């Protein structure tokens, strides 16, 4: 019995090691696939929404030296986060206007399905050409219709 539990322990360690090694590349760079044409999301494209609560916009850099060049903006629930790659952060007041441009799905995530909404932030002046994304803001209503979370947004 002791030998079997030792083998099981060894297998668990091996499995954990393989899991870590295979998931590391997917953790560093997230690749997205545009799924806006999917019938579940197509009705959202071009729609404008107004925020109902404080949110935070954060500028992130992918540079390992954390130079002051923003590669992507993220709109997140207030108060936001304090990760090392955030080089810009600003509160967005209730009433901020956004326009949905695309629905994105992670194409290299091993666990779960990371979704993002690519938007224009119409009520703020930001650097041109830098994408703006929101995560964790899509929900389904009682009829299965996908929409932005009504606790945070209403159609404008």
- Structural domain that includes position 101: 31-155
- Same domain assignment for residues 104 and 131: yes
- Going by pLDDT thresholds of 50, 70 and 90, the confidence category of residue 10 is low
- Same domain assignment for residues 91 and 146: yes
SS3 124: coil
Q: What is the DSSP pairing of strand 132-135 with strand 72-77?
A: parallel
Identify the pLDDT of residue 98. Answer: 95
**Considering its fold, how many domains does the chain have in total?**
2
Half-sphere exposure of 142 (CA within 13 A, CB side): 0
Percent of the chain with pLDDT over 90: 53
- Same domain assignment for residues 67 and 103: yes
- Same domain assignment for residues 63 and 137: yes
Q: Which two tokens stand for residue 128?
A: 């041109």
- Same domain assignment for residues 11 and 67: no
What is the pLDDT averaged over residues 37-44? Answer: 95
- Same domain assignment for residues 36 and 9: no
SS3 34: strand
* pLDDT for residue 122 is more than 70: yes
- Same domain assignment for residues 2 and 50: no
Percent of the chain with pLDDT over 70: 81
- Same domain assignment for residues 90 and 137: yes
């Amino acid at each position: 019995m002791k030998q079997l539990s030792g083998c099981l322990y060894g297998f668990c360690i091996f499995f954990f090691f393989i899991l870590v090694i295979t998931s590391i590349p997917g953790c560093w760079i997230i690749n997205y696939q545009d799924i806006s044409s999917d019938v579940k999301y197509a009705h959202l494209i071009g729609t404008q929404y107004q925020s109902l609560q404080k949110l935070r916009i954060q500028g992130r850099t992918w540079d390992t030296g954390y130079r002051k060049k923003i590669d992507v903006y993220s709109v997140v629930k207030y108060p936001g986060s304090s990760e090392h790659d955030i080089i810009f952060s600003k509160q967005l007041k209730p009433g901020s206007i956004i326009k949905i441009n695309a629905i994105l799905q992670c194409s290299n995530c091993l666990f779960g399905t990371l979704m993002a909404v690519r938007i224009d932030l119409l009520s703020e002046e930001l650097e041109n050409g830098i994408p703006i994304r929101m995560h964790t803001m899509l929900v389904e209503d009682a009829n299965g219709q996908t929409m932005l979370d009504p606790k945070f947004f209403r159609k404008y």
